[in-house]
Structure 1
Amino acid sequence: MTAFDFPRPVMTPEAETLRGEVRAFLDEELGALRAAGKYVGWTHADPAFSRKLGARGWIGMTWPRTYGGGERSATERYVVIEEMLAAGAPVGAHWTADRQVGPLLLSHGSEDQRQLLLPGIAAGTCYVAIGLSEPGVGSDLASIKARAVPVDGGYRLSGTKIWTTNAHLSHYAVVLCRTDGEPGDRHAGLSQLLIDLGSPGIDIRPIIDMTGSHSFNEVHFDDVFVPETMLIGLRGNGWAQVSGEMGNERSGPDRFLSSFAVVEALVRRTREKPSDERRAAVGRLVAQVAVLRRLSASIAEMIRKGEDPTVQGALVKDIGTALEQEIPEVARRLFAIEPSPEAADPLSALVGSTLLAAPSFTLRGGTREILRGIIARGLGVR
């Protein structure tokens, strides 16, 4: 398999049956909001909604039953998250825990850590944030300054993490920090710690984005004691563990479906007011989404086989987020609308809210420059 081979995804009859169940559920839960153009999006959190998904077995779907999982296929999980994203469901409370933390603990966590978190995550009642980026560090994650000093019985953690999604709602955070060596050592000496966010010495400060929403946070750790039992995996192996997480974070449909509600609205509006230009532009968008869906779904197959999707995930994320940002601009050009989240016209409301969120699409999960460096290494040209 070369760096840019994508296996053929297989949509089973079981997965397509499940798709119908999910759509019926979403129509009942979100139908009125969608009809009014009130697209929420996957970064928004609704704990009650997450609990409903957990009760249906739609979180931790591929995990072992002993940890609350459903032991279902990666394809079935893909169908559920695809439908949630396309509908703009408010899945933010459990999203990071389901997408990244669960697989991390299944691969590297201790049995105690799995028993502590996984059943609650699968039930939609336990939420976990990821502490990676730091002020002044940008995309150069290897130069982080947060440090956990080994002490008797554990570590003392000090430092600051930024853009920590939904930390204010989360019960725990997985924090990448330096336990050994100096910043110049780059990847060596980094570890991952599981932090109880109710511990003394933690200050969670809100960051309000351009949409007026609060999902981002700055989290400050001031000499926080972390028991040694909360070290995830091996001390000093944090960089390798985080790199494995990134394949899951970057390859999913959340990297090209953030603007999908606008595509659906564009299709409906073009049927009502057709022209050759509009048909051609909307057709191109639909074709691009279809290709990205095929690539993204094939990565679910790679993960099922235990293959490393790092390069393929970077490619999907880079192309996908660029398309997400282009979609609302196409809508503005085709219909000369005045976008506003408060507009009475559903298309104008969708475009308005999407435009405000769009600058973040190419930042979250790694900037375009970082992703293209990964892709270049996969091609052997860097």
Structure 2
Amino acid sequence: MQTALEFQPLRLPEHVQRLRAEVRAFIRSEIDAGTFDPDSPEEDWSVHKQFAKKVAQRGWIGMTWPRQYGGQERSFLDRFVVNEEMMASNAPNTVYFTADRQSGPTLIKYASERIKSEVLPKIIAGEACFCIGMSEPDSGSDLFAAKCKATRTDGGWKINGSKIWTTNAHRADYMIGLFRTSSPTDKNRRHGLTSFLVDMKAPGITCNLIDQMSGVRDFNEVVFDNVFIPDDQLIGEVDGAWKQATTELAYERSGPERFLETFAVLRKLVEIAGSKPDARMTEAIGGLVAELHALRRMSVSVAGMLEAGREPVSEAAIVKDLGTLWEQDLPQRVRRATAHLPIDAASYGGFEQVLQFNTRIAPKLTIQGGTTEILRGVIARGLGLR
């Protein structure tokens, strides 16, 4: 039982900072070339695919993975700065992001050699997009209550049921899905869940897009109707997937994407405040940047724990809980900070557009990756309080 939380101070080494400069220069060249606009999310999927190829050519996908699959065995801190720069600039990294962050590491640890040899090189080449099948319509983030069922059949399994809030499922090549293969026991609610690698082009899969008020269409309800999954697509042990699911969530919940998703509004605030903001604006910006710095230090600390081979489940949950609440509230705090600014039509117009978009995406941030209520349960369990 864990009884204490640990966020050790960690400074990024010099070679990592050199990598940051390299990534930053690459991003600037892509922005200057008109590949994407950091103030507006890129929705053209062909742009995301082309960008993934460019990132892959630089060796920035699967950086931490074993060389035998095409990885470079670099550190989680290297990956952290690449991810941080991509998120801060709103780069079109959707094709490879989920696979690089959590799906690939899950496959490396639990999948068969055949799956690893076949799928990991595709991810590293920027050619495979993954989605995650965990939450369900009737249970949300309570994965113990999952009902989407996998039933044994000749040569494999038949899957029936649905998953929800499944980001980019309509574009994904693969899903790592958590399915009910037997009932939980009275002594162990975690029993009976199994992970499979799902080919998203398999017959019987329907992706129903979920509209959002931001206009972005990435959430889905995924419906499985007698979808056949071969035996060799099993990931890990039958009925014992809960441990690997918690490992996967430690990767998912701790990165800079958990506090940088609405970062564009803070960047625009600094831009319109100018080089000599008054005392009120200086205080507002200083407070927001200080809070951002604290969240970032916590996230870097978790990256250091992952680098050391640990599974900081509670610490990752804290980063996600605090980070998403902060980024969710950021647009309104920035709006309040501008209340006394004179309105300049040219600069303020662009700011207002960014602010409106990020205000609309903010409500979803405490859903994706696990709701606030579920996260606090994870933290309480880690502290031995439940």
Q: What's the TM-score once normalised by structure 1's chain length?
A: 0.93
Which amino acid in the other structure matches residue 376 of structure 1? A
Corresponding position of 1:40: 41
> Per-residue deviation at 1:41?
7.8
What is the aligned counterpart of 1:291 among 271, 289, 294? 294
Residues 59, 123 of structure 1: 8 Å contact kept: yes
Corresponding position of 1:7: 8
Q: Measure, in 2, the Cα distance between the counterparts of 1:41 and 1:238.
A: 35
SS of the equivalent of 2:218 reads strand
Which amino acid in the other structure matches residue 64 of structure 1? P
* Bigger mean CA offset, 271-280 vs 212-221: 271-280
SS of the equivalent of 1:50 reads helix
The answer on 1:351 being equivalent to 2:355 is yes
SS of the equivalent of 1:167 reads coil
> Per-residue deviation at 1:30?
2.3
The answer on 1:275 being equivalent to 2:278 is yes
Q: Measure, in 2, the Cα distance between the counterparts of 1:35 and 1:84.
A: 12
Corresponding position of 1:203: 206
Residues 156, 223 of structure 1: 8 Å contact kept: yes
SS of the equivalent of 1:297 reads helix
SS of the equivalent of 2:366 reads coil
Which amino acid in the other structure matches residue 296 of structure 1? S
Change (3 A) 1:37 1:12: closer
> Per-residue deviation at 1:176?
0.5
Corresponding position of 1:251: 254
What stretches of structure 2 of length at least 5 have no aligned partner?
342-346
The answer on 1:323 being equivalent to 2:326 is yes
What stretches of structure 1 of length at least 5 have no aligned partner?
338-342
What is the aligned counterpart of 2:374 among 348, 370, 376? 370
State how many pairs are aligned.
380
Q: Deviations over 1:270-306 (max 9, x none)?
A: 2356222211111010001111111101111100111
Q: Measure, in 1, the Cα distance between the counterparts of 2:357 and 2:5.
A: 34
Residues 36, 92 of structure 2: 8 Å contact kept: no
Q: Measure, in 2, the Cα distance between the counterparts of 1:186 and 1:210.
A: 36
Residues 31, 37 of structure 2: 8 Å contact kept: no
> Per-residue deviation at 1:101?
0.6
* Bigger mean CA offset, 322-331 vs 4-13: 4-13
Residues 41, 85 of structure 1: 8 Å contact kept: no
* Bigger mean CA offset, 191-200 vs 256-265: 256-265
Corresponding position of 2:145: 143
> Per-residue deviation at 1:31?
4.4
Corresponding position of 1:340: none
Q: Measure, in 1, the Cα distance between the counterparts of 2:126 and 2:358.
A: 27
Corresponding position of 1:130: 132
The answer on 1:314 being equivalent to 2:336 is no
Corresponding position of 2:235: 232
Q: Measure, in 2, the Cα distance between the counterparts of 1:34 and 1:171.
A: 24
Which amino acid in the other structure matches residue 351 of structure 2? L
Which amino acid in the other structure matches residue 13 of structure 1? E
> Per-residue deviation at 1:28?
1.4
Q: Measure, in 1, the Cα distance between the counterparts of 2:285 and 2:33.
A: 25
SS of the equivalent of 1:203 reads strand
Identity of aligned residues (%): 44
Corresponding position of 1:302: 305
Q: What's the TM-score once normalised by structure 2's chain length?
A: 0.92
Q: Measure, in 2, the Cα distance between the counterparts of 1:175 and 1:35.
A: 32
Q: Measure, in 2, the Cα distance between the counterparts of 1:364 and 1:83.
A: 21
> Per-residue deviation at 1:133?
1.0
Corresponding position of 2:81: 79
Counterparts of 1:76-225 in structure 2 under 5 Å?
76-181=78-183, 186-225=189-228
> Per-residue deviation at 1:110?
0.9
Residues 145, 183 of structure 1: 8 Å contact kept: no
Residues 171, 198 of structure 1: 8 Å contact kept: yes
Which amino acid in the other structure matches residue 345 of structure 1? G
